[in-house]
Amino acid sequence: MALALEMGWRHLLFENWPVDPALMDSHLPETLSPDTHDGSAWLSVVPFTNVAVRPKGFPRWAGVRLPELNVRTYVERDGEPSVYFFSLDAQGISSVVGARLFHHLPYYYARISLDWADGRVQFSSRRKHPGARPARYEATYWPTGEPFSAPDDPLGEFLVERYRFYTEAPDGTLRYTDVDHDPWTLYPAAAEIERDTLCSADGFDRPDTEPVCYYSPGLDVVAAPSRRAPPEAET
């Protein structure tokens, strides 16, 4: 049985591209619709590290560190703005197995390193999951401007102020998880991407336009247990 989890998300890069909503819709379960900003759906790659991941109520020292990399988009269902994950690569084998079994998330085991030095994050990931399509990601990223509260910025709010995510379980059922955290603090960011085959592994061409990038030092999160999504409300 899945438990609520507490954790911290740290040193995040939000690397974001506008894409055609029709293209995004073709990659989503039937019961989810692309959420749009300025007429575009958005595809994001997000490297970061989890810290102190533990069952809710356990002390922080009992938690584990879990570097992670995800590919996601933005959806809405019954009027609720949410996130949909295409893939999540993570370092810990036991954590990947647990997330797949109990939270129905498309996690893949990867070898990941994240280092913070001289105000920059150096991130490297190589997927090692048996039977999965190979995926590599290597980047250096850093904040470039003054911090701001995401709810004060229309695009920033659209991309990060979301408190539910959806996944599709292996049996085809739609599941969701609610998350609770404070509003995000973001910085404008720059990123040097040395290698990225994540998008192609998830069935997308990596956009050839420059991404919109944000950095966040992070925040603490409580994630509820995964639940089966009810039928859509009738309109």
Domain ranges of the chain: 5-228
Angle among Cα 136, 51, 153 to the nearest 5 degrees reads 80
Prediction pTM value: 0.93
Among the residue ranges 7-11, 42-46, 129-133, 211-215, the one predicted with the least confidence is: 129-133
Mean pLDDT of 181-188: 98
Name the nearest CA neighbour of 44 among 104, 9, 97, 88. 88
Average pLDDT over residues 24-29: 94
Task: Give the three-class secondary structure for 142.
Answer: strand
Q: Please name which of 43, 39, 37, 38 lies closest in space to residue 24, comparing C-alpha atoms.
A: 43
Between residues 19 and 232, which one has the greater pLDDT? 19
**DSSP H/E element including 90:** strand 80-90
Per-residue pLDDT tens for 65-94?
989 999 999 999 988 999 999 999 988 765
Q: DSSP for 25-48?
A: HTTS-TT-EE--BTTBEEEEEEEE
CATH among 3.10.620.30, 2.40.400.10, 1.20.1250.20, 3.40.140.10 for 5-228: 2.40.400.10
In the prediction, which pLDDT does 201 show? 87
Q: What is the pLDDT of residue 208?
A: 84
Give dist(CA 185, CA 152) in Å, integer.
10
3-state SS assignment for residue 214: strand
Q: Is 84 exposed, middle or buried (0-12, 13-18, 19+ CB in 10 A)?
A: buried
Using CA atoms, how far residue 68 sits from 15, 41, 95, 112, in Å, is 14, 23, 11, 7
